[in-house]
Amino acid sequence: MSDPYLRVVAAATGAHVLFAARVQHWPFDAMSRHLWTPWGSDRLTDPQSQLFERQVRFITALHPGWTPDHQHRAETYTLDLRYVSRPGADFVDCVLVGKAFDLEPRKAQQAALSLFEKLSAVLPPGYALLPAAEGDFATWTGEDLAREDRDADLPWVEIRRPAELLFWTARGVPARHLPVVYPFSLNPSAWESVWLTQARLSQPSLVSVSLSPAYFALNDEAVLADLAADFNAVAAEAQGAPPPHAPAEQSGQAGTPLAVQAAQFGALYTDYLAALRIPFSMRVVVRGPRVVALALRTALSGPAWPPDETRFPLAVLAEMVEAGAEHAHTLRHNFERLEQAHWDPYPPTVPLAPLVERLPYLVGPTGALCAFRLPLLPADGLPGVKVGAELKLPANAAATPAESA
């Protein structure tokens, strides 16, 4: 395996070292054949579930983990999975861009090469990375699409998880402002509509999903624990409140939609905080026609499929936030250096703690899979669209498992 070309971007605080690699994959029908056949589990015998599980394990392997001496904080890196579509191209290209940062350029270069080697080693079965040479880097990463002179025809749009402050009050209980962050939806087949939209357009487009390991200071973990306790208390209050037909002086908020929601938020935050034991920071950006951002918002919205009748259906639309001229430079800077600098044309009216501002961008491995997803289409493909460069199958993988046994 050859080493990738390294793009060194010097800064006053250190060196950003970037590499790029095209994501290649086996034909999707071959991927669907080479799976485990477990006993007694309908879920695990579903090919798509197994393929998704492999991608979740890949994302999990990208987190350095926690050590008591916090040595892992020296591992500062970001990954950006990009889907680039150009009119007349044979397929929607999938490119993985990586960035390592260090105060010393030589250490940053070593870290970038180590990161590329790790990525190549932990990719799920059926995928491989083709490193970009110096002449490929700009085209593969879509640098030309990010130029300032293209802002008029290719807007920057960020897709965000909806967030709001829940104001809860009940008789005899102090009023609370609680931050509610709605999850992206893990819809198995939703991304095919995004890729199909990109392939159909006569304009270029780029979807960028930036993922970076996140860490919490001890005081942040205390805040998260307090939030979980508050939401569980609110859920208990809502569940124990009088029914909607009770007299008004007794019912409080029990009959309102807010109470119904609150009864589910305890479980929501329990799940959310459990996922954040392996935390990542994720930002999702579209550079291109607004219809691509619309397709991606739809793919990340609504309850997961199939719906779970035992849980509250958080059927909320993800947010589309378009950057104006005053914020476009921030997104361009993030794109070029694989940063995640925050921008917001609608700052909150209520001052928020730094951790609360981070909450909409924090995900666990499964939450990351909603957007940070390697190419995956039905076994028989999808008419009119090809996603990612196809690999030639190994000789021993051409037959089905039964034929090769």
Tell me, what's the pLDDT at 294? 97
**Domain annotation covers residue 81:** yes
Residues 55-80: what's their mean pLDDT? 78
Is residue 244 a part of any domain in this protein?
Answer: no
Lowest-confidence region among 65-69, 113-117, 217-221: 65-69
What are the residues whose beta carbons fall under 8 Å from the beta carbon of 160, sequence distance 6 or more? 284, 318, 319, 320, 321, 360
Locate the DSSP E strands across 59-195.
Answer: 76-85, 93-102, 127-131, 156-160, 163-170, 173-181
Mean pLDDT estimate for the chain: 83
Tell me if 284 is assigned to some domain.
yes
Backbone angles phi, psi at 162, to 5 degrees: -65, 145
More confident residue, 2 or 97: 97
Check pLDDT > 80 for residue 258.
no
Least confident range from 101-115, 134-148, 248-262: namely 248-262
Residue-number span of the structural domain to which 58 is assigned: 7-150+187-215+279-306+319-342+362-404
Q: Which residue has the higher pLDDT, 403 or 179?
A: 179
pLDDT at 192 over 80: yes
pLDDT at residue 78, as a whole number: 96
pLDDT in tens, 366-381: 999 999 999 999 888 8
pLDDT tens digits, residue range 380-389? 888 888 999 9
Query: Does the pLDDT at position 402 exceed 50?
Result: no
* Stretch among 25-39, 310-324, 335-349 having the lowest mean pLDDT: 310-324
Residue with tokens 């477990």: 38
Residue 46 has pLDDT above 90, yes or no: no
Tokens of 285: 């950006």
Name which of 94-98, 144-148, 280-284, 308-312 the model is least confident about: 308-312
**Mean pLDDT, range 171-186, rounded to an integer:** 76
* Locus of tokens 């680039």: 84
Q: Which pLDDT does position 397 carry in this prediction? A: 60
Please check whether residue 129 lies inside any domain of the structure.
yes
**21-30, 184-193, 306-315, 382-391: segment of lowest average pLDDT:** 306-315
Amino acid 68 reads: P
Is residue 70 over pLDDT 60?
Answer: no
Residue type, 180: V
Structural domains in the chain (count): 1
- How high is the pLDDT of residue 250? 37
Residue type, 287: R
pLDDT of residue 242: 46
* pLDDT tens profile 207-242: 999 999 998 877 887 888 787 777 777 767 666 554
Q: How many CB atoms are closer than 10 A to CB 216?
A: 17
Measured distance CA(77)–CA(127) in Å, rounded: 22
Residue type, 57: R
- Cα 154 to Cα 252: distance, rounded to the nearest angstrom: 49
Output the pLDDT for position 44: 52
Say yes or no to pLDDT of 34 above 50: yes
Three-state secondary structure of 24-61: EECCHHHHHHCCCCCCCCHHHHCHHHHHHHHHHHHHHH
Question: Taking residues 261-275, what's their average pLDDT?
Answer: 64
pTM above 0.75, yes or no: yes
Q: How confident is the model at residue 255 (pLDDT cuts 50, 70, 90)?
A: very low
Burial class (CB in 10 A: 0-12, 13-18, 19+), 154: buried
For residues 85-107, average pLDDT: 95
Place of tokens 């690699």: 21
Detail the DSSP E strand segments found in 236-330: 280-287, 319-322
Q: What pLDDT, on the 0 to 100 scale, is given for residue 392?
A: 83
Asked if the structure places residue 232 within a domain, the reply is no
Kindly state the DSSP code that residue 387 receives in the 8-state scheme: B
Q: Please compute the mean of the pLDDT values over residues 292-309 and round it to a whole number.
A: 80
